[in-house]
Chains A and B, each alone.
Chain A
Amino acid sequence: MKPKIGRALVVGGGISGIRAALDLAETGYPVTLVDRAPHLGGVLSQLDNQFPTNHCGMCRMLPLVDRDAGAQYCLRKGLFHENIDIRTSTQVVGIEGEAGNFTVRLKRQPGFVDPVACIGCGRCADACSVSVADDFNAGLSMRKAIYLPVPHMLPNTYVIDPAACTRCGECINVCPTGAIRLYREGRQDFSVLVVDDEYTVRDSIKEWLEEEGFSVETVGSGEEALDLIKQQSFRMMLLDIKMPGIDGVEVLKKAKDLFPDMTVVMMTAYATVETAVEAMKTGAMDYLMKPFDPEDLAGKVIGVYEAEEAARAEEIEAGAVVFCGGSEGYDPSTGKNTFGYKVFSDVVTGLEFERLISGTGPGGGGALLRPSNGEPVKKIAWIQCVGSRDLQTDSDYCSGVCCMYAIKEAMLAKEHGPEDLESTIFYMDMRTVGKAFQRFRDAAETDQGVRFVRGRVHTVYQDTHTGKLVVSYPGEKSRRIEEDYDMVVLSTGQKPSSGTDKLAEAAGIELNPWGFVRGEPFLPAKTSREGIFCGGSFSGPKDIAESVISACSASLLASATMHSAGKGIAVAGDDTPEYIDVSHQAPKVRVILCECGGSLPEGIDLRRLAAGLEADPFVESVSFVSRICTEEGWESLAEKVKTKGYNRLLVGACTPYAYTRRIRELGGEVMLDPSLMDVCDIRSPEFAYGEETGGDAIEKAMRRSLSTGISRLRSVDPLPKQTVPVTRSALVVGGGIAGMTAALAIAEHGYDVHLVEASEHPGGNLGWLHSTVEGNDTAILLEDTTQRIEKHPLVHVHTNTTVVSAFGEVGNFFTTIETADSGPQTIQHGVVLIATGGREAETRSYGYGTSDAIVTQKELEEKVAAKAIDYSAIESVCMIQCVDSREEPRNYCSRVCCPSTLKHILQMKQQNPDISVYILYRDMMSPGFAESWYTEARKAGAVFIPYTTYAKPVVSQGEEGGSKVVISTREPLLDADVQIHADLLVLATGIVPNLPEELAGAFGAECDEDGFFREAESKWRPVDSLKEGVFGCGIALGPGSIEGSVATAGAAAQRALRILSKNAISPAAVTARVRHSLCVTCERCIAVCPYGARSIDPDTNRVLVNAVMCQGCGNCASECPNSASVLDGFFDGRMLDMIDMVME
């Protein structure tokens, strides 16, 4: 695909960054993806299991259209896409320019191992004598100073931990490719001044640093220090804060005035930590807390040294920037740590728990054992809200993810622990706010026997006699109960990623009060700086689905920015190269082998190997290249393929997946279809030599691999693929805020959009909503959006219109719509977005309808707007949450009701502070920053009383003739009955969807059991349907806020633009087809196709395959008994042949 003009920069390579990069790349933009870590994947590289399936599933984010642009490879192992340029160990240090024309300065962290030269053989790690805690396993296992940051990453190259490395040089000696280089030589020139009034301190620091090779001077006072730096130049100063005479802070100020480039690190005791933090504002780089150990200190100095040595800022041009910097897990040892984290080894964080049971974890086996003594865990507890909803840890917000991950982990514990494992979750509110979350929780409780206890645990200590952890919590009548556990998991919350503040400063974007990036009202993906966007938890705690949605929505905004700057218009035309037709030629395979710079193990004779291969009648020739992984090596290879005489190319090298993109490019140069070219692994550590060792065995394995590759290539049948033309317009069904937002986004990229709205005006629920709990005005949003819709020439609004029928597939749908006055009309479109929204549920519960004093939330909102309710005349209000919700049959949380309740409380209390407000709730759902409004509502004096589905509140009429209603409920803390005499009873009835099953079905999508749009995958593909080209957004997808609807609308539009940005979609090389002469139409292939790519043509009675929708999974081929269904490139004959070769 021809790249468009604009380049997008995505910062952060976690799940959101990968999603944003893939989105933009799939839409056709070249993308630079940077991550400061030496690998991609973020925290998810450490998490094996995701709820609700308790598997991974990240691969579901791989491109589904134009699959061949990326390698179909496990995304947790690596990301390979031809439009994505990945730079790890790289940070953004500055952004200049404006939207559409940014110049971004990137700084690469020093790399001691050349990733191109490293072949991942691991000899360096074997030679390394340093052993330190492994971050990948959350410190639960050990690793060397030279190590693989993520053991399963591909390509997997070693990196050096500069803080742990002793520079002994052993690794350099054993590295077969000379990939390692250290900077020790230059250290003598790096002079450090140590200033401390205590002799013992400065002397030992001098000793430690000189051991590391630095030159060190020491002085005992600030005065001396200031004198000395004027005479002698220092690169770094270690400065004590508390000194007689001129103190450290003064010295810092003066030194920085004189030598602004000098790095200063403060040294402090507990009492002066605050001073040290202040000092950092004055220019100190960091501070060290006394007493410190030599390794910390040396590590810090080495870090500074190496950063200075190796950091080279580089400038790149970018049209738009998407920040996906993620968040960090709260570290419970930093706070008051009443849970004994890092004190008792059986107290772990959620992340550590996941590492413990991971197959790649410290135990390796995945069994759930106590870290303290290796015995099986029989009783385990989760403690929620650690570092969340806690003002003491500066987190007046809910991290939003911990409830669900705790439930998931409790279920995983059952899998990894003994049958009779007892697990308990201690919580304040179980925030099961997502679509299927409540049922997941219920299943955990009823099917898996997970015990849920409402109460905040404050202390965990160890019984010194039994070694058990004792958890104490308030039980009945708030009495303290103490229980023994084998393991305690702290459900740690999300904190802003470290360095967020620095990055924000470098990028010129603002942060919110909680230290996350501040999003615009109603558009959280938009930062305060034009052209810079934000995806994932960088702007606040998010789960995977929310991260994916926000990343999609951020990439949409980035695309729009580049488009409007004139950098997105280049249209991807039919730019597939005209490959030479080789279908009538006998196969001739040219084999080129990498000699790996002569570093192959002894006993391997490449010439002998080549001679053996050349005996094969299908092999044209075998030749050699010294090192393909180097630029020269690749050029030499490119040279070798220029001469004619072959029609298949096989390269024998290491890490084949890394060459996907280059092979495609090479194919374009020599006009050979890339499917006729292959790279065969003969070298990677993953490459299986078999059980024997030694040169012979390896050579045999290499021959086996190459023979297999030859027979694979030999039988490739390069049939030309049919492309599917795309009708480059969209249909959006539903004209609420989601539908309008999506329609505008697509139209602003230059494509026609038909917006179908059943009612008289677009607007949906914004028609009656007036403000949000944050105080944002919805009327302005509505007016602004409708005006833009009306004005946009490419948006065709059809009001009073419904969809009558539809058929078709991605690229080409034909939909008949009917407008009340003007009759039916058929529209052709390439994609469809379903945004039919939802409405407030009706109820007959809690006496609704028996009294004027009982209203729903919507009625309250309307009455307040119409000034039909005067709060000043009201004494008492009661609100009941979760009316008919979160229990069967409507067993889901509607998300919006709790924030609405908080909004209403604050409105009432503002107008009449004396009003008594009672909220009867099950779990207050105020995830994320909404938590702060919950705090406000409590501060305003509202009384929150929990109830359960077993003992619901009872509503009765008050006194004869009175207007009050009486609500009786149980106050569980007092364990007493309560009667509330209310002037107003507000029922939070929740949301029901407006999506008729037939409408979804007409486009090939489905509804879930609650009638919402069924997404392809709740986490990884949250706005797609399983059928390509059909997307859902807004409340049609599931209950959500306005911000949520706008985000899903953006995400859905972005997903649609991947398709609309192409004239035609070409299917991937590997797709399935049907050999009709063999087919008996048993239709089993249709039943097993997970992508709905197969159908039966009733006219011809033949099975049809939509090649674009087909993902080449091969289910059909393996289901078909006589291979009437086949996967291109995987014919039985070829497979048998290859198996035969492997068995040789």
Chain B
Amino acid sequence: MAKTALYDIADKNLQGALASFLQSLLADDNISAVMVPMRQSGNDTVMQTLVTDPEQLSAADPFSPAFPMNAARLVSRLTKRSPGETVATVLRPCEIRAHIELVKLKQGQVDDIIIIGIDCPGTLQNNDFRKLAGKDPESTTDRFLTAALDGKTQFDEAVELPPACKICTHPVPEGADIGIGIFGMDIKKQFLLSAGTEKGEGLLDRLGLNVQEPPDGREEAVGSIVSAREASQGEVFAAVHEKTDTPEKLAEYLSGCINCYNCRVACPVCYCRECVFVTDVFDHDPFQYLRWAKRRGKIRMPTDTVFYHLTRMAHMTTACVGCGQCSNACPNDIPLAELFSMTASHTQNAFDYEAGRSLEEDPPLAVFREDEFAEVVEIKH
């Protein structure tokens, strides 16, 4: 059983309590900076911010439903080479898991960071977040949390959780050094701190917090969230499968694609420096387009769109953590997150692998096992 502590919330002010918790981290001798989502001054956006001045942390808003990008890419930037100092990073479960994938791909490491994970009730797509914020951006987080913790997925007439979050079965930060728990908690009174690693336990000890068991209802609360999401995951996958189970249907599903590659930019685990689709390989000769058109009588422009998505599936569905940023980034609202999550669940199941689960598990395509996929290579064992 992981070591847990309860953090008291003064004046029913969750954000204030979180800020003071984060300040206490900055006060720790080992921690030089905290990276946390913060309300940006001058507008209502919330963005990850690297903070060294404890005073600035009052604007920290880790539970904001804003999710402009998957922060794993930022952590990778901080840790690709050792910064020499330790940073505490506040991350959602899907961000942590994406980072673990990047570490396996040598795009970062975990030695120089403390991962503070949060229970994630879900996020909103950029437009929806702005809608929900509306005229009262100050209370967005409170309004969101109140409804979300009540099990709601609809927040306003036109605002609901995106499919990626509705089907996410990882609401609790499993790989974090310290998790901040709000499921099954009275967030007017206390949030839960649980150490998931030795590093986290050491930190809890240094912070001088009383070790306390989580309240009885927590486990049940988490369980019911997960089972609800599993149920909707099944429905969504079935629906997507129906829509994409032939090459023609798949092409139709992706027909809105314009090769903007926003999805791959937004994808936390698409880690190539330069995607093969922007290299000379796809820089076709002009006569080539005409040749194709001649052969079939017509050719959709831009070309290579389905090929692009298939390639991306081949390259990254074993690492996909289902964060939904691909859908968030798509200018033409192609429901990519559902498609990629479904494919990922197949590829990962096939290798008995789960993206982000453990640093100990090597990426499936980097491992050769003689006895796997016997049915593919037609060897019976």
Residues of chain B within 8 A of A1081, CB atoms compared: 106
Q: Does A961 contact B (CB under 8 A)?
A: no
Residues of chain A within 8 A of B365, CB atoms compared: 1084, 1088, 1119
Quick one: which of A415, A1080, A1083, A1144 contacts B273, CB cutoff 8 A?
A1080
Q: How far is the CB of A1133 from chain B (nearest CB, A)?
A: 5
Q: Does B380 contact A (CB under 8 A)?
A: yes
> Does the CB pair A1082–B107 fall under 8 Å?
yes
B349-381 Cβ-contact flags toward A at 8 Å (1 or 0): 000000000000011011110100000000111
> Does the CB pair A1084–B273 fall under 8 Å?
no
Given A415-B380, A1084-B365, A1133-B280, A1122 and B295 touching (CB < 8 A)?
A: no
Given A415-B380, A1082-B106, A1087-B366, A1122 and B275 touching (CB < 8 A)?
A: yes
- How far is A1119 from B105 in the complex, measured between Cα atoms in Å? 12
> Does the CB pair A1080–B368 fall under 8 Å?
no
> Does the CB pair B271–A415 fall under 8 Å?
no
Measured CB to CB, the nearest residue on chain A to B368 is A1088
Residues of chain A within 8 A of B272, CB atoms compared: 1078, 1080, 1121-1122, 1124
> Does the CB pair B381–A1082 fall under 8 Å?
no
Q: Does B274 contact A (CB under 8 A)?
A: yes
Residues of chain B within 8 A of A1124, CB atoms compared: 272-273
> Does the CB pair B106–A1122 fall under 8 Å?
no
Measured CB to CB, the nearest residue on chain B to A1096 is B106
> Does the CB pair B279–A415 fall under 8 Å?
no
> Does the CB pair A1080–B281 fall under 8 Å?
no
Q: Does B238 contact A (CB under 8 A)?
A: no
A654-679 Cβ-contact flags toward B at 8 Å (1 or 0): 00000000000000000000000000
> Does the CB pair B276–A1123 fall under 8 Å?
yes
Is the contact region of chain A dominated by helix, strand, or loop, or is it mixed?
loop
Q: Please indicate which of the listed interface residues A416, A1084, A1122, A1136 has the most CB atoms of chain B within 10 Å of its own CB.
A: A1122
Docked complex: A1091-1143 residues within 8 A CB-CB of B: 1119, 1121-1124, 1131-1133, 1136
Q: Please indicate which of the listed interface residues B272, B365, B367 has the most CB atoms of chain A within 10 Å of its own CB.
A: B272
Q: Does B143 contact A (CB under 8 A)?
A: no
Measured CB to CB, the nearest residue on chain B to A415 is B380
> Does the CB pair A1121–B281 fall under 8 Å?
no
Docked complex: A547-564 residues within 8 A CB-CB of B: none
Listed A/B pairs (20) with beta-carbon separation below 8 Å: A415-B379, A415-B380, A415-B381, A1077-B273, A1079-B273, A1080-B107, A1080-B272, A1083-B106, A1087-B362, A1087-B367, A1088-B365, A1088-B368, A1122-B272, A1122-B274, A1122-B279, A1124-B273, A1131-B281, A1132-B276, A1136-B281, A1144-B295
> Does the CB pair A1078–B281 fall under 8 Å?
no
Q: Does A576 contact B (CB under 8 A)?
A: no
B96-112 Cβ-contact flags toward A at 8 Å (1 or 0): 00000000011100000
- How far is A690 from B331 in the complex, measured between Cα atoms in Å? 44
Residues of chain B within 8 A of A1083, CB atoms compared: 106
Q: Does B249 contact A (CB under 8 A)?
A: no
- How far is A1122 from B107 in the complex, measured between Cα atoms in Å? 15
Is the contact region of chain B dominated by helix, strand, or loop, or is it mixed?
loop
Residues of chain A within 8 A of B362, CB atoms compared: 1087
Residues of chain A within 8 A of B275, CB atoms compared: 1122
- How far is A1080 from B271 in the complex, measured between Cα atoms in Å? 8
Q: Does B315 contact A (CB under 8 A)?
A: yes
> Does the CB pair A1088–B380 fall under 8 Å?
no
Given A1084-B363, A1088-B366, A1078 and B279 touching (CB < 8 A)?
A: yes
Measured CB to CB, the nearest residue on chain B to A1080 is B273
> Does the CB pair B276–A1084 fall under 8 Å?
no
Measured CB to CB, the nearest residue on chain B to A1136 is B281
B30-64 Cβ-contact flags toward A at 8 Å (1 or 0): 00000000000000000000000000000000000
Residues of chain A within 8 A of B279, CB atoms compared: 1078, 1122-1123
- How far is A1136 from B327 in the complex, measured between Cα atoms in Å? 29
For the complex with contacts A1082-B107, A1123-B281, 10 further pairs of A-B residues with Cβ separation under 8 Å are: A1078-B273, A1079-B273, A1080-B105, A1080-B107, A1082-B106, A1082-B271, A1084-B363, A1121-B272, A1136-B281, A1144-B295
- How far is A1119 from B367 in the complex, measured between Cα atoms in Å? 11
- How far is A1124 from B295 in the complex, measured between Cα atoms in Å? 32
- How far is A1131 from B276 in the complex, measured between Cα atoms in Å? 12
Residues of chain A within 8 A of B379, CB atoms compared: 415
- How far is A1122 from B370 in the complex, measured between Cα atoms in Å? 26
- How far is A802 from B161 in the complex, measured between Cα atoms in Å? 68
Given A1122-B274, A1144-B295, A1084 and B280 touching (CB < 8 A)?
A: no
Quick one: which of B276, B368, B370 contacts A1121, CB cutoff 8 A?
B276
Q: Does A599 contact B (CB under 8 A)?
A: no
Q: How far is the CB of A250 from chain B (nearest CB, A)?
A: 64
Residues of chain B within 8 A of A1123, CB atoms compared: 276, 279, 281
> Does the CB pair B315–A1132 fall under 8 Å?
no
Number of chain B residues whose Cβ lies closer than 8 Å to a Cβ of chain A: 25
Q: How far is the CB of A1091 from chain B (nearest CB, A)?
A: 13
Q: Does A392 contact B (CB under 8 A)?
A: no
- How far is A1124 from B105 in the complex, measured between Cα atoms in Å? 15
- How far is A1077 from B273 in the complex, measured between Cα atoms in Å? 8
Docked complex: A1036-1082 residues within 8 A CB-CB of B: 1077-1082
Residues of chain B within 8 A of A1080, CB atoms compared: 105, 107, 271-273
B281-309 Cβ-contact flags toward A at 8 Å (1 or 0): 10000000000000100000000000000
> Does the CB pair B370–A53 fall under 8 Å?
yes
- How far is A1087 from B275 in the complex, measured between Cα atoms in Å? 21
> Does the CB pair B280–A1122 fall under 8 Å?
no
A286-305 Cβ-contact flags toward B at 8 Å (1 or 0): 00000000000000000000
Residues of chain A within 8 A of B370, CB atoms compared: 53
Residues of chain B within 8 A of A1122, CB atoms compared: 272-276, 279
- How far is A420 from B54 in the complex, measured between Cα atoms in Å? 69
Residues of chain B within 8 A of A1079, CB atoms compared: 273
- How far is A415 from B379 in the complex, measured between Cα atoms in Å? 8
Residues of chain A within 8 A of B107, CB atoms compared: 1080, 1082
- How far is A1119 from B365 in the complex, measured between Cα atoms in Å? 7
- How far is A1132 from B273 in the complex, measured between Cα atoms in Å? 17
> Does the CB pair A1082–B105 fall under 8 Å?
yes
> Does the CB pair B366–A1084 fall under 8 Å?
yes
Q: How far is the CB of B48 from chain A (nearest CB, A)?
A: 22
Q: Please indicate which of the listed interface residues B106, B315, B379 has the most CB atoms of chain A within 10 Å of its own CB.
A: B106
Measured CB to CB, the nearest residue on chain B to A448 is B381
- How far is A53 from B275 in the complex, measured between Cα atoms in Å? 38
Measured CB to CB, the nearest residue on chain B to A1135 is B281
Q: How far is the CB of A159 from chain B (nearest CB, A)?
A: 31
Q: How far is the CB of B304 from chain A (nearest CB, A)?
A: 10
Residues of chain B within 8 A of A1077, CB atoms compared: 273-274
- How far is A735 from B370 in the complex, measured between Cα atoms in Å? 38
Q: How far is the CB of A279 from chain B (nearest CB, A)?
A: 54
Measured CB to CB, the nearest residue on chain A to B276 is A1122
Measured CB to CB, the nearest residue on chain A to B283 is A1133
Q: How far is the CB of B316 from chain A (nearest CB, A)?
A: 8
Residues of chain A within 8 A of B281, CB atoms compared: 1123, 1131-1133, 1136
Residues of chain B within 8 A of A1131, CB atoms compared: 281
Q: Which 4 A-B pairs have CB atoms at the shortest separation, nearest pair first?
A: A1122-B272, A1121-B315, A1082-B105, A1132-B281
A771-785 Cβ-contact flags toward B at 8 Å (1 or 0): 000000000000000
Measured CB to CB, the nearest residue on chain A to B280 is A1133
Residues of chain A within 8 A of B367, CB atoms compared: 1087
- How far is A1079 from B279 in the complex, measured between Cα atoms in Å? 13
Measured CB to CB, the nearest residue on chain A to B311 is A1121
Q: Please indicate which of the listed interface residues B273, B362, B381 has the most CB atoms of chain A within 10 Å of its own CB.
A: B273
Docked complex: A262-320 residues within 8 A CB-CB of B: none
Residues of chain B within 8 A of A1132, CB atoms compared: 276, 281
A756-786 Cβ-contact flags toward B at 8 Å (1 or 0): 0000000000000000000000000000000
- How far is A1084 from B367 in the complex, measured between Cα atoms in Å? 10
Q: How far is the CB of B324 from chain A (nearest CB, A)?
A: 21
Q: How far is the CB of A778 from chain B (nearest CB, A)?
A: 42
- How far is A416 from B107 in the complex, measured between Cα atoms in Å? 45
- How far is A739 from B274 in the complex, measured between Cα atoms in Å? 51
